[in-house]
């Protein structure tokens, strides 16, 4: 186990080569990814109430899913991310999408890699549907900056057949983002950003 890093020994933010990224422990990787996110978005975390159909957004946006599955190495994932990183027109956002049931730590590493390997991609999205609200929130500690969930006016109790309903109220989305230590910020239909006051 590598020596635990401290606040003061936080590595300077720099584009790290893939082999250096793959060698980082969980906490170092998380720190790097969160710093990269904050450098871009100054401590804000986003949610969107009404999403346009895919590929039809106000910023001409495209949100691409990045499928990952258990058992892959960081290097394999970084190889695939390199293709997206080199694209002539990088996507507006990337959304890690687990194939099969996601595991916690594996998923968090994957988020950090997405953030660090794709400096030209503005948003890394945490999908409440596939991750559940707990893990989606934790992803904000590992470089995610946007919550991806149906935002509804009211939701039914998560019981029985409704137990895994990914819908969140606006208040729940705000609570999750604020709880992750970020300033919740709504991206409006016209692309403007609106911070939510505490």
Partner 1 sequence: MSLAGIRDKVRTGEPLTLEDGVALYEHPNLLEVGTLANEVRERLHGDRTFFNRNMHINATNVCEASCMFCSFARLKVGDAGAYTMSHEEAFGRLRARVAAADAITEIHIVNGLHPGLPFDYYTELLAGLKRIQPSIHLKAFTAVEIFYFAKKFAMPIADVLAALRAAGLDSLPGGGAEIFAARVRKKICDDKCTGDEWLDVHRTAHQMGLRSNCTMLYGTIETVEERVDHMLQLRALQDETGGFQTFIPLAFHPDNNALMKLPGPTGTEDLRTYAVARLMLNNIPHIKAYWIMLGVKTAQTALWFGADDLDGTVQEERIYHMAGAETPQVMSPAEIIRIIRNAGRAPVERDTLYNVVAEGAALASDKPFRRDVRRGLEVVS
Task: Report the residue from 21, 36, 116, 131 that binds partner 1 according to the rule CB under 8 A.
Answer: 131
Range in contact with partner 1 (rule: CB under 8 A) among 15-23, 73-81, 168-176, 184-192: 168-176
135 binds partner 1 (CB under 8 A): yes
User: Please, which residue, 81 or 137, has the CB nearer to partner 1?
Assistant: 137
CB of 37 to partner 1, least distance (A): 13
**Cβ-proximal residues to 84 (8 Å cutoff; 6+ apart), any chain:** 64, 66, 90, 91, 94, 118, 121
Beta strand residue intervals within the chain, DSSP E: 44-47, 63-68, 93-98, 123-127, 146-148, 151-152, 168-169, 183-187, 193-195
Whole-angstrom Cα distance, residue 65 to residue 47? 17
53 binds partner 1 (CB under 8 A): yes
Site residues for partner 1, 15-34, by CB under 8 A, read: 26-27, 30-31, 34
Q: Give which of 114, 148, 118 is closest to 29, Cα–Cα.
A: 114
Contact by Cβ (8 Å): 45, 193: no
Number of residues that bind partner 1 (CB under 8 A): 56
Site string for partner 1, 79-118 (x = CB under 8 A): ----------------x----xxxxxxxxx----------
- What is the 8-class DSSP label of residue 54? T
Range in contact with partner 1 (rule: CB under 8 A) among 15-23, 80-88, 155-163, 185-193: 155-163
């Amino acid at each position: 186990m590598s020596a635990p890093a401290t606040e003061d020994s936080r590595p300077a933010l720099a584009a790290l080569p893939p082999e250096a990224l793959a060698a980082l422990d969980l906490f170092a990787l998380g720190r790097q990814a969160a710093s990269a996110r904050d450098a871009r978005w100054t401590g804000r975390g986003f949610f969107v109430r009404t999403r346009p159909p895919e590929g039809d957004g106000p910023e001409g946006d495209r949100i691409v899913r990045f499928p990952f599955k258990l058992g892959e190495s960081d290097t394999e994932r970084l190889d695939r991310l390199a293709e997206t990183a080199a694209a002539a027109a990088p996507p507006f956002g990337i959304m890690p999408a687990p194939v099969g049931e996601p595991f916690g730590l594996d998923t968090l590493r994957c988020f950090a890699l997405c953030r660090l390997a794709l400096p030209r991609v503005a948003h890394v999205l945490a999908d409440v549907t596939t991750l559940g609200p707990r893990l989606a929130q934790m992803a904000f500690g590992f470089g995610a900056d946007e919550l991806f969930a149906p935002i509804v006016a009211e939701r039914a109790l998560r019981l029985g057949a409704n137990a895994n309903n990914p819908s969140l109220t606006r208040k729940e989305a705000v609570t999750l983002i604020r709880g992750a230590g970020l300033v919740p910020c709504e991206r409006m239909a016209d692309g403007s950003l609106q911070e939510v006051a505490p």
